[in-house]
Chains A and B, each alone.
Chain A
Amino acid sequence: MTNSESALLVILVYSGMMLFTAVSYAVFVTYLILRKYSDFGDSSCKIDEYSQRGIGYYRAVDDAPAMEKRFLFTEYGANPYENNIHSIPEVLLKNSGDSKPPV
């Protein structure tokens, strides 16, 4: 590679990096402006609002081996409430005529 070719390559690489950096900052500033002036109320409630007890973990494995995934879903994936029967409000039963069946 000649000196002029290597100089050209350096210019191209640095130009690319300059453009990327400038575009990145422009995108970020645009996002900040739109978030402040255009997008309102983008938050919802946390779990504490609806549960006083918090999550009770049955199982918590860190740095889990691949076989753990299969065990996890086999052991804890079944529906424990399957046989629970509940009374359903009439208005919900009335609306079930045009609803899709449960998945």
Chain B
Amino acid sequence: MAVLCKNCAGKLIFNPASQKLECNTCGSSYRPQDVEDIYASSDTKFYDTRVYTCSHCGAEVITSDTESSTFCVYCGNPAIVFSRVSREYRPDGIIPFKITKQQAIENIRTKFLKNPIIPREIKNKLTAENLRGIYVPYWLINADFTEADWIKGKVKKGKSSETRYYSRAGEISFKNVPIDGSRILNDDTSRKLEPFYLEDSTEFDEDYLNGFYSNTTDLSYYDLRRSAADRCHSLYAEAVVKSFDWGVKDVKVVDSVYHIDIHDDPLYMMMPVWFFTFKHDGKPYTVLVNGQTGKVVGTLPWLNKRIWAVAITVFLVILAFIGFFFGGIAFGFRKHINTFYMHGIAGLLATSMLCFTTGTVGLKRIFKNLRLTQSEAIFRFVKKRQE
């Protein structure tokens, strides 16, 4: 657990800006590696965390901090009491927070400012109280990977296109692939937080956790292997599809078989993530900020009225515009219609099909991302952790 200031016995908090532990009381600062943790377990395989229980609502709050007089994030009640010390396996390494809370707020704010479709009340919810820094467990794996793919693509032949099949089998060695070590955080969400740059990683020291929440890995080896195989497969399949030249269109992996061999001793790491949580229309939302790079990840709710207004305006403008073309044909001006005119209509129809496909696929992805952001589980995961 955390240590106290040598000068005044005040609470030491890790400051991402200075990369030092700072005393809120007397202003002293220390490098984490220079601070001797008098509470540290003699068994270096473990470190201790403190679990607090809210006597009002029963919620559990986990922290590695020495601070005990805190309030419950569930019900806001200050009646929270120390429950127990929990021994957790010590991670191999940690990437300390580099982005401060204020920088994380600024990064999200730049996405919000001048954003015409996000409700104003959400902009107002962007406060320090709604932002929590959590060290999320990851596994860094090195692995050998082999995959066989049956691939479909279309090749232009004259004026039409022909479907062709391709077979590919190969192997690759992966190095330092990060795998989210927590079941509660969706893999699709955690992947978007990447990259994490390992140059900033250091040996794990629980002093870095001071002032932040943390979570521990709940994966088994089989869970890790499954997640790692899926992750490597998606990287591999994407590279295979991109390896086809421009002559082959609509390339898709139809069927594949893949195997992974994770090398000995994958590294257990803690990665820094800021979680911005809020409720809107009764639904929970979580926007994440990579605590090392500042990358913002998430899909925000929008003002339905404005989106509908834009969609209907575009619909009417396009309708009026093409009404001129189609109306000309429908109402007997056919003798004035030349080839250029007909080509224009054909082009409009062709692009509209492309727009429809791209638009529907894109909207589907955005709604999927919105569901990830709305995850009740992640919301609860964040709310359980408190400074």
Contact = CB atoms under 8 A, between A and B. Distances in A.
Interface of A: 7, 10-11, 14-15, 17-35, 37-47, 49-64, 66, 68-69, 72-73, 75-77, 79-81, 84, 86-103
15 contacts: A11-B330, A19-B319, A23-B356, A24-B353, A25-B355, A31-B359, A37-B302, A39-B299, A42-B192, A45-B191, A53-B172, A55-B170, A58-B169, A62-B164, A100-B222
A19 B115 CA distance: 30
Contacts of A63: 164-166
Closest 9 CB pairs of A and B: A99-B220, A41-B297, A81-B261, A27-B359, A28-B355, A96-B220, A24-B356, A28-B359, A24-B352
Nearest to A63: B164
Interface string B164-195: 11111111111111000000000000011111
Given A25-B315, A25-B318, A54-B172, A69 B362 contact: no
A77 B257 contact: yes
A30 B238 CA distance: 27
Interface residues of B, number: 98
A59 B168 contact: yes
A92 to B, nearest CB: 4
B366 A38 contact: yes
A37 B225 contact: no
B46 to A, nearest CB: 10
B218 interface: yes
B279 interface: no
A42 to B, nearest CB: 6
A78 to B, nearest CB: 8
Nearest to A90: B89
B297 A40 contact: yes
